[in-house]
Amino acid sequence: MGFSPWLWVPALFFMQAVPNAMVVAVYPVAFKSLGFDNLAITAWTPLVVLPWTLKLLWAPLVELTAKKRTWVLMMQLAIFLLTTASAAGLVLPSPFYPVLAIMMLLAICSATHDIASDGLYLLSLPRDKQAAFVGVLTTSGRLGRMLCTGGLVWLAGTLAERGYPPATSWAIVAVVIALLYGAGMVANFFTLPRPPADIARLDPSDTGRLRAELVRTASVIFAGLALWAILAGGIRVAGHLSAESLDMVAKWGQTDLGLKVWLGILLAGLVLFPIGYLISAKLLRGTEMGEALGTYVRQPGFGAILFFILTYRLGEVMVGAMSPLFLLDKPAVGGLGVSTAALGTINGVAGVIGIIIGGLAGGWFISRVGLRRAFWPLAFAMHTPNLLYVYAAYAAHHGGVSLSFLYFITFIDQFGYGFGFAGYFVYLMYVAQRTPGFTTTHYAIGTGLGALTIVLATALSGIVQSFTGYFGFFIVVCFLTLPGMVALFLIPLDETQGRGIKVETE
């Protein structure tokens, strides 16, 4: 008899969030404290986070080659070893590129872990419990992230204040998180479920087929990278082509280096994508991997599903990217002038409480009334806080707002995010299980498209804000939430999805 989901779900998804937070938030702070400049740090960030966006491309390989439980444990071991290695890398005389290489490997292993752990969750729990535990799942992930972005950064700062060299402080932090992660890995070895449906569909001794699957996966990743170059490069180039930079384009020698780089990425994508697409289409034709990817696109209502994934979180992502900058920026440019320490306190108190209550409440609400009836309240809860930011941006030009109001708006914002995100999460699970046999791949495709949306929406937020200012930005965002609401009328959804579910209490 397996362990209760209360034992393994929180631990598994807490651990899922840790390597992502380390790569995205902790190691860049470490680089900054070690004296590396912003240009060097930010130049590599879009590439290091790519595996989470492109993970859908190798999800079929994960689904075919081994049990999800096996993949989870293998990736946890790799993450433990890589995090330990980063401690040694941080104390090297020139740590930037060695640690950067470790970050990229961590991102690949973490993205693969995401595929397997999400698939194991869907295979291990019946659909009613999937919805009931979604709040626990998302809250556990947020706590894992906060441990890294709050607790570990605090530890590094405390060690530095006590006289430890910066490199030593961050190496100790890496050792601490590696030990915690290793303990979780050992616990998962004993508690992770072994669902009967978790099987390897490819015989490990069939080396010829394995080699063919690896080649197919490589071709799909090649095409995916080229498509990413077109999308990301196009948005970045559009962002650079502001009124100031248009004159500089005419004088290529004076053109901003960032514009040159992203224009080169865009052109490379335009050239390479047709080649990659033709090769991958030929290699995938008539294969199980091709069927795994193709059935997602061919499912009834795919256009509405894609529209939902691309729009439901659009406004929320843009606000999430810009709101910290709005709070920190000077009143002279429309910001609120909040100190970094105050922002940390606001997020650490009001934000944490809001996201925990919202996430748990969202899962509970879906379990009580079903997803179809719950979706509109969930969507309104996610998007309504944007109006508070409109007011705050207006008030920034008329005397500002009180600190207590910032606590209030942050709590409401994070509560709404946690509450509304539960619906998004459950719907992607529902879509993944519409086509039997490819649950893991289809869920990875949904979350991968969601990750791509985050990348593109984050870039778009900077462009919009640069042209409209903060007040105009938040007004535009309110209008950009409307397509996601329209999508709720269009998406296919089983009327009984989630209805009558009772949240587990044992």
**pLDDT value at position 506?**
29
Single out the residue of 169, 168, 147, 145 nearest to residue 158, CA to CA.
169
Say if residue 138 is in the same domain as residue 232: no
Looking at residue 133, what DSSP letter applies? Answer: T
Single out the residue of 16, 170, 9 nearest to residue 99, CA to CA.
170
For residue 155, give the CATH number of its domain. 1.20.1250.20
Single out the residue of 309, 292, 310 nearest to residue 427, CA to CA.
309
Rounded CA separation 101/86 (Å) = 10
**pLDDT value at position 199?**
84
Backbone angles phi, psi at 162, to 5 degrees: -90, 10
371 within some domain: yes
- Residue 203, pLDDT > 60, answer yes
Rounded CA separation 321/308 (Å) = 20
Q: What's the chain's average pLDDT?
A: 83
66 within some domain: yes
Give the pair of three-digit tokens for residue 452.
């791509």
What lies within 8 Å, CB to CB, of 250 at 6+ separation is none
Single out the residue of 496, 479, 482 nearest to residue 374, CA to CA.
496
Rounded CA separation 339/341 (Å) = 5
Single out the residue of 326, 463, 468, 447 nearest to residue 57, CA to CA.
447
Say if residue 175 is in the same domain as residue 268: no
Say if residue 181 is in the same domain as residue 309: no
% of residues, the chain, pLDDT over 70:
90
**pLDDT value at position 161?**
80
Give mean pLDDT, residues 139-161.
81
Burial class (CB in 10 A: 0-12, 13-18, 19+), 285: exposed
Q: Are 30 and 90 in contact (CB under 8 A)?
A: yes
Give mean pLDDT, residues 392-420.
87
> Alpha carbon 318 to chain centroid distance?
14
196 within some domain: no
Domain coverage including residue 451: 299-506
- The H-assigned helical ranges of 56-151 are 59-65, 68-90, 96-124, 127-132, 134-146
> What pTM does this model have?
0.78
Of 149-163, 271-285, 375-389, the range with the lowest mean pLDDT is 149-163
Of 122-126, 338-342, 461-465, the range with the lowest mean pLDDT is 338-342
- Residue 264, pLDDT > 90, answer no
**pLDDT value at position 505?**
30
Number of domains in the chain: 3
Give mean pLDDT, residues 36-43.
65
Say if residue 29 is in the same domain as residue 102: yes
197 within some domain: no
Say if residue 349 is in the same domain as residue 434: yes
**pLDDT value at position 258?**
61
- Residue 273, pLDDT > 80, answer yes
